[in-house]
Chains A and B, each alone.
Chain A
Amino acid sequence: MDYFFELFFSGLSKGSIYALIALGYTMVYGIIELINFAHGEIYMIGAFTALIISGILTILGFNKISILILATIGAVIYSSAYGFTVEKIAYKPLRGSSRLSPLISAIGMSIFLQNYVLLAQTPNFVSFPELIPEIKWLEPYSSFLGSTDFVIIVTTAIVLVLLTILIKFTKIGKAMRATAQNQVMAALVGVNVDKIISVTFIIGSGLAAIGGVLIGSHVGQINFYIGFIAGIKAFTAAVLGGIGSIPGAVLGGLVLGWTESFGTGYISSDYEDVFAFCLLVLILIFRPAGILGESTQQKV
């Protein structure tokens, strides 16, 4: 039974991180119907920024908790700035063109950012400092729930609650929902669509950065390429849950995390990624709009 719980919690923490990244995909998709391929790279840049900041602070001799907090804040600020800039450069001039052009532009941006970090930092894996402190009272459960996993799960839960409040109850959230439903109508009733799109990118990138910091301290090493596979997985999670739907992205992330964790635990560890994609194909065959997505009839 311990083994089951171990897999359950490792799947939960993995799924939480997928969910954090998937939210960025799903929010952007909900508003401008674009698969933002560069989103994984934003997450990677968040992880690298956190690494650099925490490196400096470690050398300067700060204590662990303050390093964790400062590095996370720095990562969120920088990732958001990158997300904002990427949108302005690669997607905004393409608004109104065919659907494929922004996608290609996004793939190009993703390749560019990967190589930018590769050249400016390092092509090798770098070890990420252990930022999350051991939690004392978790020790009796440590056979199946490590403190890193615990922090990941709790952080994700807090972030999700805050995001839900933002979207459901604030003015900007209302404007975001309106823009997602119909851009032209939203603009007519006085929503600044360009600003809302920027805000969406900023929030999505910030969430990805939190994911980046958490995964960095969970896995213990990062390189310039981590964004790609995480990006694909997170996008899979977003599609699983029904793209455009925020609870869907979270559910999709968790389902994906559990599938991978139980699949590798009980079947074979070589096929971790295969399980994810097979699940995706199966769900899309039987529920083409995703688990929570509404299937809208295409109109003429």
Chain B
Amino acid sequence: MFEEIKKSLKVSIWFMFLTFPIMVIKVNLTDKVIIWRWKNLILVGIGSFFLSFIWRYLLERKAKKAKKEEMGIGQTSIFLKIFNNPKYAKPLYIIFLLFILAFPFIFSMYQTNIMISALIYVMLGLGLNIVVGLAGLLDLGYVAFYAVGAYSYALLNYHFHINFWLALPIGGLLAAIFGIVLGFPVLRLRGDYLAIVTLGFGEIIRLILENWDEFSFGPSGISNIPRPSLFGINLGVKESTIFIYYLIVFMSIITIFVVNRLQNSRLGRAWIALREDEIACQAMGIDKTKTKLTAFALGATWAGFGGVIFAAKTTFINPASFTFLESAIILSIVVLGGMGSIQGVILAALIMILLPEYLRAFSDYRMLIFGASMVLMMVFRPEGLIPSSRRKYEYDPTKR
């Protein structure tokens, strides 16, 4: 016990030292005053003292759990038990679906709008899940395809008055083409090189949108994008929000359906094989080029759809909506949810988007909490909220 307190004291002193200049001192050079904020130092000291206990306790627990699993007596979490048992899972899904369907009638317009953006992220997350979770290609520029979708609707509408319903497939198709265009040069790259090239690609798209005024109207963006119409009838703001809500619910369900079918198809298994071991995968006769390109194209398509819906929802887009932070958020949705796991990605998208919205009370601290929780999540639960379970073919001697 005494040892533990000593350790925590050390940590506490270290953090007081570490945060000293930034948390305590504030210099105003124009008025030549130094502001000392000693209160912060005490807060950091006490906070880190207690947090270090919790930190060490949690690390120990994690190590114990890993040991147990090694010995083969690891238990699966409650989450997994529920999700893997159809007896519990089915009613849960149905309740969840009913809740989602009834949502705009229970909650206010404001809440519905937040839910729409959360569901857009569900779509984006599931799309990126194909690229990162299934095919194992680390894409840090996914937001570029989202931007392609959004801008293709906005620009096509501006120049040619193409309506939403025609723009939706065109946006998806254009994003897919961009996915293939990006995919070709990076086919030979592995892992982290791929990550940085995709990051660069995302930034290039954003910078072009920002600087090429004649094409994309620069940083001021495009406004007055029409909302979708229902069989030619133009809806009011409230009705069209509800309409977009059901549209995005419908699109999400299609996405879930498609991704789920793909996952267990020949192509999906090829992706997983590619993720696990490229060389072994080629040896099994899988066409690496084709498999990778389809992953990029299909992943990008969902981002394109998401982009078109986003543009229709906000009626205004500018390049500031498509920064690297957006890519990072989508990627963390995939990883936090559990790579390759559909339920996980949905849950993570809802948490990641809804939580900051409801944390508005702490609005100053919300990005701080967001960053910290990403780190903590990775440290204590790196497999994600709902780890994906691989389909296994087991021999059961009792069922002969």
Contact = CB atoms under 8 A, between A and B. Distances in A.
A281 B25 contact: no
A98 interface: yes
Given A107-B328, A108-B332, A35 B192 contact: yes
Given A90-B375, A93-B59, A102-B378, A120 B23 contact: yes
Contacts of B368: 112, 115-116, 119
Contacts of A100: 132, 138, 335, 339
Contacts of B191: 99
Interface string B176-211: 000000000110111111011101110110011001
B280 A236 contact: no
Contacts of A232: 199, 203, 324
B219 to A, nearest CB: 11
A298 B278 contact: yes
Interface in A69-113: 74, 78, 81-82, 85, 89-90, 93-94, 97-105, 107-113
Interface residues of B, number: 64
B232 interface: no
Contacts of B279: 298, 300
Contacts of A120: 19, 22-23, 40
A109 B196 CA distance: 18
A117 B371 CA distance: 13
The secondary-structure label for the interface of chain B is helix
B367 interface: yes
B305 to A, nearest CB: 25
Contacts of B29: 55, 58-59, 126-127, 129
B379 A105 contact: yes
Contact of A107 (B21, B32, B33, B332): B332
A260 B143 CA distance: 24
B371 A271 contact: no
Given A85-B14, A112-B371, A104 B201 contact: no
Contacts of A49: 21-22
A55 B34 CA distance: 8
The secondary-structure label for the interface of chain A is helix
Contacts of B40: 120
B7 interface: no
B326 to A, nearest CB: 12
A134 interface: no
B18 interface: yes
A122 B23 CA distance: 11
Contact of B379 (A29, A93, A126): A93
A187 to B, nearest CB: 19
Residue of B59, B62, B203, B336 with most chain A CB atoms under a 10 A cut-off: B203
Contacts of B196: 35, 235-236, 239, 280
B27 interface: yes
Residue of A48, A99, A103, A243 with most chain B CB atoms under a 10 A cut-off: A103
A122 B26 CA distance: 9
A232 B33 CA distance: 35
B76 to A, nearest CB: 18
A108 B374 contact: yes
A298 B221 CA distance: 45
Residue of B18, B196, B332 with most chain A CB atoms under a 10 A cut-off: B196
Given A93-B379, A116-B368, A243 B192 contact: yes
B17 interface: yes
Interface in B361-381: 364-365, 367-368, 370-375, 377-379
B331 interface: yes
Interface string B261-285: 0000000000000000111100000
A285 interface: yes
Given A93-B379, A94-B382, A277-B203, A285 B185 contact: yes
A270 to B, nearest CB: 4
Nearest to A127: B29
Nearest to A280: B200
Contacts of A74: 21
A112 to B, nearest CB: 3
A81 B27 contact: no
A48 B23 CA distance: 11
B34 A59 contact: yes
Contacts of A294: none
A140 to B, nearest CB: 33
A193 B389 CA distance: 34
20 contacts: A29-B192, A48-B21, A53-B21, A55-B34, A85-B14, A85-B18, A90-B378, A94-B379, A108-B375, A110-B371, A111-B325, A112-B371, A112-B372, A112-B374, A112-B375, A114-B371, A116-B368, A120-B23, A236-B196, A280-B200
Interface of B: 14, 17-19, 21-23, 25-27, 29, 32-34, 40, 59, 62, 132, 138, 185-186, 188-193, 195-197, 199-201, 203-204, 207-208, 211, 277-280, 324-325, 328, 331-332, 335-336, 339, 364-365, 367-368, 370-375, 377-379, 382
Given A114-B371, A298-B278, 5 more contacts: A52-B21, A99-B191, A112-B372, A239-B193, A288-B193
Going nearest first, the 5 A-B pairs with the smallest beta carbon separation are A108-B374, A112-B371, A55-B27, A111-B371, A277-B200
